[in-house]
A and B are shown apart, each in its own frame.
Chain A
Amino acid sequence: MNEAAPILEARGLVKRYGQVVALNGADFELFPNEILAIIGDNGAGKSTLIKALSGALQPDEGEIRLDGGPVHFRSPGDARRAGIETVYQDLAVAPSLDIASNIFLGRERRRRDPLGLLLRLLDKRAMRREATRHFAELQIGVQSMTQPVENLSGGQRQGVAVARAATWARRLVIMDEPTAALGVKETRQVLDLIGRVRERGLPVILISHDMPHVFELADRIHIMRLGRRIAVVTPKTHTMPEAVALMTGATRGELEQALTKEEPAR
């Protein structure tokens, strides 16, 4: 899998907030068609890294390349335009609007006739049709595209957010703790959905605290510690306790071993 060129990569990212160094030369690669989990203790720099990759902040040093070409995202809008969509943990949907409206929120489609041109009339039917198609492809079960999102369960709401990202992402999807606000059953639904997003050919960056989920879903696991990528492991080569040990710096030997090898293979 890792023979291919990375879709998204970063080299030597540095971000300082006054005296605090949030990112201290972090590297990053995401390869085609993989789910890459990012784990790390609080303050290890995962969210700063993700914000840099999604355009929410600009690193002080280092470079980010998308499909091999350098990019400079000055806002989340820049990243979106480059084909990178982000799903947030806190259910970033508009509850009173219906499902189709949420999928197309900020990207509404107008009718391609004089009514659309002059009166800016929305093409609700086309948006509903397309939203229905995406939901069917992702196997998200909802009764109707016209029901308000507030009538959905938390899992279905996050399903709407994931479907929106999958609808618009051309290159990759970033999921920032997508199940943090959900119950057990709903978490299951969203995890299955993440797998189906990857099946559509979109690589996924998954930030999660939940080790069993990470080990179940991820192809590779990017471990952050003290603002750097300390190791990249896979569920095949490492156990959960080993990954946690790397994350917290508990076993020195493992740490050094990981640092000397860019790609641990056993």
Chain B
Amino acid sequence: MATKETTAPTSLSALTVVRRIATAPTVGPFVALVLTMAFFSLKSDRFLDAQNLSLILQQVMVVGVLAIGQTLVILTAGIDLSCGTVMAFGQVIMTKLAIENGLDPLLAIALGILTCVGFGLLNGGLVTGIRLPAFIVTLGTLNIAFALTHIVSNDLTFSGLPSEMLFFGRTFSVAGGDFTYGVVLMLVLYGIAWYALTQTAWGRHVYAVGDNAEAARLTGIKVNRVLLSVYVLAGLTYGIAAMLLVSRTELGDPNAGQTTENLDAITAVVLGGTSLFGGRGTVIGTLIGATIVGVFRNGLTLIGVEVIYQYLVTGILVILAVSVDQLTHRRTL
């Protein structure tokens, strides 16, 4: 029995304010981010440079948007292993339609995003309809999207994209740093996700479904409808991430998004304090988590660590973060 005697007074004393701040779910990730940045700024003079910081944000953009969808799925106690390859397929669709089929670029983008939404629908349909575990379903769709990406693209990279497709890669300058419009879009999407999760009934239902699906069902929540909406919205964010990836790389690359972005998105969510057991977490934490991942990749490159060691570090990071999650949350269940 979890009998936890709390003696905090009801009035807001200075102590409870401090305690509340110290126990806020985003504090841990934030401290981790500050420590990581402090470490790399000591190791490299260039790290805290405005140009470098804006570069980190540009690199965070794609993983950050992927991680929004991943957060939704993980909050429901699921996981989406297909996020990176679905995004890759989406960008191949949009660039191929624009280049080979000469489609209007905006229509091509829309169809690419729609393709990703379709994958979300497929994932959600299998998870709710046949009650398959999300892990297995998305492991399957990961491979389907991977195969389709190479089949549809014929292993060709699409380049020479129309300028409409590159809009979100364009930059504007603020305080000596260059920011892309894509970063702005990412922040707007985080704002929307924060609002939907914390200020609407739908958001509460997402948490309740991940927390205790049976209790949610008994209170009259349509659990399958919530789950389906989560997977579809996740697909939508992968589609938007595909659009941002295209605008940044100015390519439709069938080899993009396979391991790095896939693992980084999950790492970002977990580093951001969202529990893999569902029901606990915040998108603001995920934004911090995605930034930590970006800082690591950038910092390790700056101090000259080879790419293969970056994989090593990311792998260790994920396991560390999941272990913290396990030790803090499993005990109370």
Return the CB mask of A72-110 against B: 1 if under 8 Å, else 0: 000011001000001010111111110001000111101
- How far in angstroms is the closest Cβ of chain B from A201? 23
**Contact of B6 with A106 in the complex, beta carbons under 8 Å:** no
A120 at the interface (CB under 8 A from B): yes
Residues of B within 8 A of A101 (CB): 204
Residues of B within 8 A of A151 (CB): 2, 4, 6
- Of A88, A91, A106, A120, the residue contacting B216 (CB under 8 A) is A106
- How far in angstroms is the closest Cβ of chain A from B17? 14
Q: Which residue of A lies closest to B279 (CB)?
A: A96
A122 at the interface (CB under 8 A from B): yes
**Contact of A122 with B199 in the complex, beta carbons under 8 Å:** yes
Given contacts A93-B215, A94-B215, A94-B216, contact A105 B208 (CB under 8 A): yes
Q: Which residues 160-203 of B have a CB within 8 angstroms of A?
A: 195, 199-202
**Contact of B201 with A110 in the complex, beta carbons under 8 Å:** yes
Q: Which residues 132-165 of A have a CB within 8 angstroms of B?
A: 143-144, 147, 150-154, 164
Q: How many residues in B have their beta carbons less than 8 Å from beta carbons of A?
A: 29
**Contact of B207 with A96 in the complex, beta carbons under 8 Å:** yes
Most chain B beta-carbon contacts within 10 A, residue among A91, A95, A96, A107: A96
> In the complex, what distance in Å separates the CA atom of A143 from the CA atom of B9?
8
Residues of A within 8 A of B204 (CB): 97, 101, 105, 108, 122
A183 at the interface (CB under 8 A from B): yes
A-B contact count (CB 8 A): 87
B1 at the interface (CB under 8 A from A): yes
Return the CB mask of B292-333 against A: 1 if under 8 Å, else 0: 000000000000000000000000000000000000000011
Given contacts A95-B279, A96-B211, A154-B2, contact A107 B199 (CB under 8 A): no
**Contact of A105 with B2 in the complex, beta carbons under 8 Å:** no
**Contact of A105 with B219 in the complex, beta carbons under 8 Å:** yes
**Contact of A120 with B208 in the complex, beta carbons under 8 Å:** no
**Contact of B201 with A108 in the complex, beta carbons under 8 Å:** yes
Question: Which residues on B are within 8 Å of A, measured CB to CB?
Answer: 1-4, 6, 8, 10, 195, 199-202, 204-205, 207-208, 211-212, 214-216, 218-221, 279-280, 332-333
Known contacts A95-B279, A151-B4, A152-B4, then 5 further A-B pairs from the complex at CB < 8 Å, ordered by chain A residue? A94-B212, A94-B279, A122-B204, A164-B219, A183-B1
- Sample of 8 A–B contacts (CB below 8 Å): A80-B220, A92-B219, A94-B215, A94-B216, A97-B207, A108-B204, A147-B6, A154-B1
